[in-house]
């Protein structure tokens, strides 16, 4: 009898062991090691905003970081041409070094020139039959700020000025420029209005286009009929300024949308800004320089993640573990008071065969202002499947 009982118990034990062994190996999830958010240390400064006037500033990667707080939509004037150039370059892309299609000017283009000239607008002389490339038209529009070139580009791109203005407003909506409305391609209409924050956001997008950035950094250009024309941005190359566009001519004052290279903690950072409603263009230039200096002293570049830093951990029920480590260094420009948000996006793994070290198993998702980064994470050490003893003897896994 005892023999039969013993055999029965043994059979039960063997059965449990076999069932245990054949059960699937459990998946292993990564445990994050970093906080979900952290506030960038420091206090945001009180910036030297123009008075009278309004302003906003931004940083490449971060996006908008501050505004004067008293913004209201006023005539954008020739800064509207930034949107004209952006729409044209998105519709008819150019690569750096390419001139693009040739446009033969007609009597309509000459009439635009003569009408704008009679209205004392900013123009560049043209003749019927003159041939200009897309690049030359963009240069004439952005460098000496030719209103008639903006009108020629609008007709060439969309067939009519009205159709082109509709494109401008559609692009404005897509960029969430809530306080911006365009009534013409040149900014000659007071109904083409915006705010410093909206125009700063527009400038940051436009400067991502290499051809646009190249044009607005030019001090002058030669055109077939008009010969040499000069940039109305008189402070180009001063205080790191690399563009973008001036605007004036209304009783609301002068506007200046700018971009500048700033050296911050050994890194070159592009800072952006826009001042509007400043009494004169010279004062707008001065205000921009003051803002650039203030931003440069406030910004910092910090390494928020170091290559090989442990970001998460896999712990197996059978004992071994490995960290997920960053495959890259991550340096970001920071503005005091902003919030860095982090999220671990890592695979749940089933270790049925050896998992080598340096295997990509997820990403650390970072958001800071407009920065959205996914940092690859790799295993620090190999992971091995559970042994037979653990598989046979496990109870709850």
> Looking at the predicted structure, is the pLDDT value of residue 216 above 70?
yes
> Which pLDDT score, from 0 to 100, does residue 325 have?
98
183/137 same-domain check: yes
In a domain, 2, yes or no: no
Alpha helices in the chain (DSSP H): 2-22, 81-91, 107-118, 134-142, 147-158, 161-174, 196-206, 210-216, 281-298, 388-393
318/276 same-domain check: no
> Which pLDDT score, from 0 to 100, does residue 12 have?
46
263/341 same-domain check: no
In a domain, 355, yes or no: yes
285/317 same-domain check: no
In a domain, 269, yes or no: yes
| Residues of the domain holding 200 | 61-298
Mean predicted confidence (pLDDT) in 212-233: 96
260/216 same-domain check: yes
In a domain, 14, yes or no: no
Q: How far is the C-alpha of 289 from the C-alpha of 48, rounded, in Å?
A: 10
Answer with the one of 251, 276, 298 that is the final residue of a domain: 298
276/315 same-domain check: no
333/226 same-domain check: no
In a domain, 375, yes or no: yes
Indicate yes or no: pTM above 0.85. Answer: yes
364/224 same-domain check: no
In a domain, 148, yes or no: yes
The three-state secondary structure class of 350 is coil
CATH of the domain at 242: 3.40.710.10
In a domain, 56, yes or no: no
Whether 341 and 364 have beta carbons less than 8 Å apart is answered as no
Q: Mind listing the pLDDT tens digit for each residue in 299-329?
A: 999 999 999 999 999 999 999 999 999 999 9
Answer with the one of 264, 298, 332 that is the final residue of a domain: 298
Q: Mind listing the pLDDT tens digit for each residue in 137-151?
A: 999 999 999 999 999
254/309 same-domain check: no
Q: Among 74-78, 252-256, 350-354, where is mean pLDDT lowest?
A: 350-354
Answer with the one of 298, 313, 332 that is the final residue of a domain: 298
> Which pLDDT score, from 0 to 100, does residue 4 have?
63
Q: Mind listing the pLDDT tens digit for each residue in 79-114?
A: 999 999 999 999 999 999 999 999 999 999 999 999
Count the domains in the chain: 2
Q: Mind listing the pLDDT tens digit for each residue in 236-247?
A: 999 999 999 999
> Which pLDDT score, from 0 to 100, does residue 21 have?
63
> Looking at the predicted structure, is the pLDDT value of residue 14 above 90?
no
pLDDT band at 392 (very low <50, low <70, confident <90, very high): confident
Q: How far is the C-alpha of 186 from the C-alpha of 171, rounded, in Å?
A: 16
Q: How far is the C-alpha of 217 from the C-alpha of 202, rounded, in Å?
A: 17
Whether 168 and 87 have beta carbons less than 8 Å apart is answered as yes
pLDDT band at 204 (very low <50, low <70, confident <90, very high): very high
283/379 same-domain check: no
Q: How far is the C-alpha of 197 from the C-alpha of 67, rounded, in Å?
A: 7
374/246 same-domain check: no
127/249 same-domain check: yes
């Amino acid at each position: 009898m005892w023999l039969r009982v013993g055999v029965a118990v043994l059979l039960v034990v063997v059965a449990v062991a076999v069932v245990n062994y054949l059960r699937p190996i459990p998946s292993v999830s990564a445990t994050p090691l970093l906080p979900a958010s952290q506030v960038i240390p420091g206090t945001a400064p009180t910036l030297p905003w123009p008075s009278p006037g309004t302003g906003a500033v931004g940083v490449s990667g971060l996006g908008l970081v501050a505004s004067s707080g008293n913004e209201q939509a006023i005539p954008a004037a020739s800064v509207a041409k930034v949107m004209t150039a952006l729409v044209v370059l998105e519709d008819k892309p150019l690569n750096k070094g390419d001139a693009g299609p040739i446009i033969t000017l007609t009597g309509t283009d000459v009439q635009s020139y003569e009408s704008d000239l009679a209205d004392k607008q900013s123009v560049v002389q043209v003749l019927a039959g003159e041939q200009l490339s897309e690049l030359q038209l963009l240069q004439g529009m952005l460098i000496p700020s030719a209103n008639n070139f903006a009108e020629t580009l609008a007709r060439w791109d969309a067939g009519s000025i009205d159709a082109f203005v509709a494109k401008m407003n559609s692009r404005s909506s897509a960029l969430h420029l809530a306080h911006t409305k365009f009534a013409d391609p040149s900014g000659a209409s007071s109904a083409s209005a915006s705010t410093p924050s909206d125009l700063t956001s527009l400038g940051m997008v436009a400067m991502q286009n290499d051809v646009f950035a190249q044009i607005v950094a030019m001090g002058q250009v030669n055109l077939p009929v008009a010969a040499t024309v000069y940039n109305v941005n008189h402070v180009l190359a001063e205080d790191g300024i690399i563009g973008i566009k001036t605007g004036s001519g209304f009783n609301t004052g002068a506007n200046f949308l700018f971009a500048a290279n700033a050296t911050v903690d050994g890194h070159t950072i592009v800072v952006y800004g826009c001042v509007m409603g400043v009494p004169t263009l010279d004062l707008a230039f001065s205000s921009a320089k003051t803002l650039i200096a203030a931003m440069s002293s406030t910004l910092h570049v910090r390494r928020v993640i170091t290559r090989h830093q442990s970001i998460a951990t896999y712990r197996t029920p059978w004992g071994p573990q490995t960290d997920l480590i960053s495959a890259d260094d991550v340096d970001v420009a920071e503005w005091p008071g902003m919030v860095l948000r982090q999220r671990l996006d890592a695979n749940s793994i089933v270790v049925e065969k050896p998992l080598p070290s340096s295997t990509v198993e997820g990403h650390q998702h970072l958001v800071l202002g407009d920065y959205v980064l996914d940092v690859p994470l790799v295993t620090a050490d190999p992971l091995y499947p559970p042994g037979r003893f653990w598989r046979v003897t496990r109870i709850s896994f």
